[in-house]
Structure 1
Amino acid sequence: MDLDTVRTFVAAADARQFQEAAAELAVTQQAVSKRIAALERNLGVRLFTRTARGAELTIDGQAFLPHARELLSAAERAAASVRTGRRPLRVDVIASRVAATGLMRGFHRAHPEIELDVLMLFDIETAVAAIRSGSIDASFRAVVAPGRPLPEDIAAVRVLDEPLQLLTGPAHALAGARSVPLARLAGHRIWMPGIVPGTEWAAYYDDLVAEFGLSIEATGPNFGSDALLDTIADTPALATFMGERTRLVWPAGHDLRRIPVTDPAPVYPHSLLWHRDNPHPALAALRAHLAAAAAGRDTAGTWVPGWAIPR
């Protein structure tokens, strides 16, 4: 059913004059008559009766009018749902406890008027495909992994260098250290069962191992962060890496230690990805917020893999 004919019908029903409806719609009276006639042919009924006073709704016209109004209202809601600036900004943060989630919470506090849809996509290929299709507006990733350049229509900017910390139980050999030089971790078993081959974080830790001679084990099933914390607390021979901004809660009896790593401090290079042609105004606000938060950060004495995009 053509919405222009429905809109013309409603205007004529409200005005009770084809001439007034034509003026409201900025068309000719002849165009109004043609649209009403086309709608009547489509429905198989007469909608108006011409009278000396103008145009009166028939009983069928009266029955159709509330449905016609609902059709126009539904069309407006459908258009508004995708109109630039009217729909929520959709952003992928990978996981709920990582630094990107904290960045988005900070953005929401600074801009509570902006509606957000926060979701979590696992791998970078899925995230890039979602950005290109328009199903999300942006994604936080460490890019680009070796041999996998971003498509030309995807833009990226590095927004946060997150220092890694060593997480140990109370009986670990390094548990009492206030900080640990990176070279001192050689020979210690670092257990990270969540590393998945082919992901950008797997590429990051591969380079970290190769450059500093570390031993990172990804063996065993990944039962999630709670199981990881239980194991680290109970096993003096194991430690793990954790981002400084990763939010963790553990039982008081675990007595876990988060120890800064230094000389150099390995930092995880979080970047924001988006489509170059995305016009959503809230995307520009997010980029400006992240740029302001990152301004003036000192990167001296830190390490990132050579494939990370520059600051």
Structure 2
Amino acid sequence: MPRDLEPRLLRAFLAVAAELHFTRAAARLYVAQQALSRDIRRLERELGSELFVRTTRQVRLTADGERLLPYARRVLDAHEALAAAFTDTERPLLVDVGAPVGTAYRVLGEARRAAPGMEFVARYLSGLTGAAGEIAAGRLDVSFGRIAGIDAALRSGLDHQPVRCERMAVLLGDGHRLAALDEVPLDALAGETLYTGAGNAATAEWTDLAARLFAGRRIRMAAPFPEIAGPEEFVRVVRKHGWSVLASTEFLAVPGMVVRPLAAPVPLSPVSLVWRRGLSHPGLGVLKSAAAGLAVAEGWLDLPKDCWLPDEDRAAMARNT
């Protein structure tokens, strides 16, 4: 085996390992599929090992491919660290957490504790669809949310790390017929109308997830409503309209309302850490490490037996990162 391997070859390997599909991996790297295939063949020659089993139906890692994964990640992490050491690291990292509660907010807090000398500036945008546009425009560095729900053209310029499969819940008035339950079976919501962010283009990925969940269950979405900006305005509008709300178990406190987990099956909302592909900033590494640590410590990526998660989301959350 040669002493030196080009980082480009390892990036090609990790992209194919993540996607398990050469066309998608090539799009992710902005290269032609033929060029990507050449790089993989060259890497296999230089290592003297076959890394992938390729058939007309699927691509999968060989045992040697699985063995290479942690080494390839460490090498590229070192290259990123080297680049970051000679990059402007004085500027703050702009991080969208959506709300001052929940998964993203907890990851941000852990990152701030881990690197107190680094500046992470929080933003509170309402959804990943809107945040992804801000990331692409260079006005935001990092966000969190459902990566599989983002338009493919926009997603091609992003990278992500799975963080958590949040249990979905419903926010109910404390006098609602279901509010006394410890958890609410999905079938019990038949005939109910829930606010799901319809009408807010910035949260399209959440509204799409809701539509998939409600399909065939006779649960209705509330009529489209303009974007509701900020926690205080959200509380005001929800209470004024008397809406029940599709939510996650960690949610804003709304006076006079209760959060109840959904069940039978347990619906999950996938959350990834999302950033602009090619972003070089030491704060990103701190966030990735904080997210990974919390995910392991709290079992955030463990799926319950009786759960609901669309196939494309399941694939995105199972990817090799």
Question: What interval of TM-score do these two structures reach, taking the shorter chain for normalisation?
Answer: 0.5 to 0.7
Cα distance between partner residues in 2 of 1:166 and 1:122: 18
Aligned to 1:264: 265
Q: Give the C-alpha shift of residue 283 in structure 1.
A: 0.7
Cα distance between partner residues in 1 of 2:211 and 2:263: 19
Change (3 A) 1:276 1:206: same
Matched to 2:172, the amino acid is: T
Q: Give the C-alpha shift of residue 200 in structure 1.
A: 1.1
Change (3 A) 1:96 1:270: same
Verify: 1:241 aligned to 2:246, yes or no: yes
- Kindly report the root-mean-square deviation, in angstroms, between the aligned alpha carbons of the 2 structures: 2.9
Verify: 1:304 aligned to 2:313, yes or no: no
Structure 1 stretch displaced more, 168-177 or 301-310: 301-310
Structure 1 stretch displaced more, 171-180 or 135-144: 135-144
Q: Give the C-alpha shift of residue 190 in structure 1.
A: 2.1
Aligned to 1:117: 121
Aligned to 2:4: none
Aligned to 1:169: 173
Q: Give the C-alpha shift of residue 221 in structure 1.
A: 5.9
Q: How does 1:135-214 map to 2 (within 5 A)?
A: 135-145=139-149, 148-192=152-196, 196-197=200-201, 199-210=204-215, 212-214=217-219
Aligned to 1:94: 98
Cα distance between partner residues in 2 of 1:180 and 1:292: 31
TM-score, length-scaled by structure 1: 0.61
**Contact 1:166–1:239 (CA under 8 A) maintained in structure 2:** yes
Aligned to 1:227: 236
- Deviation per CA, 1:44-91, whole angstroms, max 9, x where unpaired? xxxxxxxxxxxxxxxxxxxxxxxxxxxxxxxxxxxxxx9432222221
The alignment covers a number of residue pairs equal to: 222
Matched to 2:236, the amino acid is: A
**Contact 1:167–1:257 (CA under 8 A) maintained in structure 2:** yes
TM-score, length-scaled by structure 2: 0.60
**Contact 1:189–1:215 (CA under 8 A) maintained in structure 2:** yes
Aligned to 1:277: 278
Residue 177 of structure 1: SS of its match in structure 2?
Answer: coil
**Structure 1 gaps, min length 5:** 1-81
Change (3 A) 1:261 1:122: closer
Verify: 1:293 aligned to 2:303, yes or no: no
Q: Give the C-alpha shift of residue 116 in structure 1.
A: 0.9
Percent of matched pairs sharing the same residue: 26
- Deviation per CA, 1:114-162, whole angstroms, max 9, x where unpaired? 2112223456465334434544321212112275354444211221222
**Contact 1:157–1:272 (CA under 8 A) maintained in structure 2:** yes
Cα distance between partner residues in 2 of 1:186 and 1:179: 15
**Contact 2:97–2:122 (CA under 8 A) maintained in structure 1:** yes
Cα distance between partner residues in 2 of 1:258 and 1:123: 20
Aligned to 1:75: none
Cα distance between partner residues in 2 of 1:135 and 1:170: 40
Cα distance between partner residues in 2 of 1:120 and 1:144: 21
Cα distance between partner residues in 1 of 2:150 and 2:206: 11
Residue 175 of structure 1: SS of its match in structure 2?
Answer: coil
Cα distance between partner residues in 1 of 2:107 and 2:199: 23
Change (3 A) 1:239 1:283: same
**Contact 2:214–2:220 (CA under 8 A) maintained in structure 1:** yes
**Contact 1:84–1:279 (CA under 8 A) maintained in structure 2:** no
Cα distance between partner residues in 2 of 1:134 and 1:229: 33
